[in-house]
Amino acid sequence: MDSVLLNTAGVLLCRFPFGLRTAPSDRVRAFRSGPTFRSGRTITVMSKTPKRFRDTQSFGKRQDFIAIAKLLAKVLDVYLTLVDDKQIDCVVRDDRGTTPRYCDIQIKARSRNAQEKSSATWPNVKLEEPRENFFFVFYSEPFDQYWVIPSQYVADNSSRTKSGRYEDHYTATLAQLQENGLPKYNPKFEEYRGAFHLLGASPADPGGAHG
């Protein structure tokens, strides 16, 4: 808890330890970063707890790269996109056939800070164009599990919002945490848990059966 001295333009001039008085001036204003308390002519500022750097947006970006690293660990060729306005975070090349197949990948993640009831549930999933070579890679940090699911299967086996702001968006529930603390996986999606082989990875590739 510090005292601060600003000029008339509101520019921070200096900061004083708690209890040290600033120069007497009626024009001193506090740089408001939290609740303020006056003690004589000193304006004391209670600083807020620093904002967490790893907020929702940074978590999503970090998980994109972690999932991409997982794909690379599966000995897959991964190509990054510069923009994802087509719901494509990366492209994976599958060389198993006589002709290479390119798979569009959308990565979705839930952090350990998510509510327990939604730690493996993805609401409001936008799915404009389900197609054979479009896959979702879901990752739940609380469950430490990956799901690799074809987009058409997501559309066919998820609940669809029929009206309102998120009309035609989907909610995919892949697992839930039971009262005993153990995970309960949705049987509809069980075959897709850790299913990196759908993108061309060998089951013997490093990374574990379920990612």
User: Are both 35 and 107 inside the same structural domain?
Assistant: no
User: Are both 40 and 73 inside the same structural domain?
Assistant: no
- Residue 208 within any structural domain of the chain: no
pLDDT at 52: 53
User: Are both 87 and 6 inside the same structural domain?
Assistant: no
Which pLDDT tens digit goes with each residue over 140-177? Answer: 998 999 999 999 999 999 999 988 998 999 999 999 98
- Residue 187 within any structural domain of the chain: yes
Number of structural domains (the chain) is 2
- Residue 205 within any structural domain of the chain: no
Q: What is the identity of the amino acid at 47?
A: S
Which pLDDT tens digit goes with each residue over 7-64? Answer: 444 444 444 444 444 444 443 343 334 444 344 444 333 344 445 545 666 777 888 8
- Residue 150 within any structural domain of the chain: yes
User: Are both 88 and 164 inside the same structural domain?
Assistant: yes
User: In this structure, which long-range contacts are made by residues 133-136, counting pairs with CB atoms below 8 Å and at least 24 apart in sequence?
Assistant: 133/101, 133/102, 133/103, 133/104, 134/87, 134/103, 134/104, 134/106, 135/103, 135/104, 135/105, 135/106, 135/198, 135/199, 136/105, 136/106, 136/107, 136/108, 136/172
User: Are both 60 and 23 inside the same structural domain?
Assistant: no
Measured distance CA(105)–CA(135) in Å, rounded = 5
Instruction: Record the tokens describing residue 177, joined without a space.
Output: 């945490």
User: Are both 20 and 84 inside the same structural domain?
Assistant: no
Instruction: Record the tokens describing residue 209, joined without a space.
Output: 């059966």
Q: Which pTM was predicted?
A: 0.70
* Angle, vertex CA 153, rays to CA 128 and CA 74, nearest 5: 100
pLDDT at 175: 94
Structural domain of 26: 2-45
pLDDT band per the 50, 70, 90 thresholds, residue 210:
low
Element (H, E) at 67: helix 56-73
- Residue 209 within any structural domain of the chain: no
User: Are both 140 and 170 inside the same structural domain?
Assistant: yes
User: Are both 38 and 113 inside the same structural domain?
Assistant: no
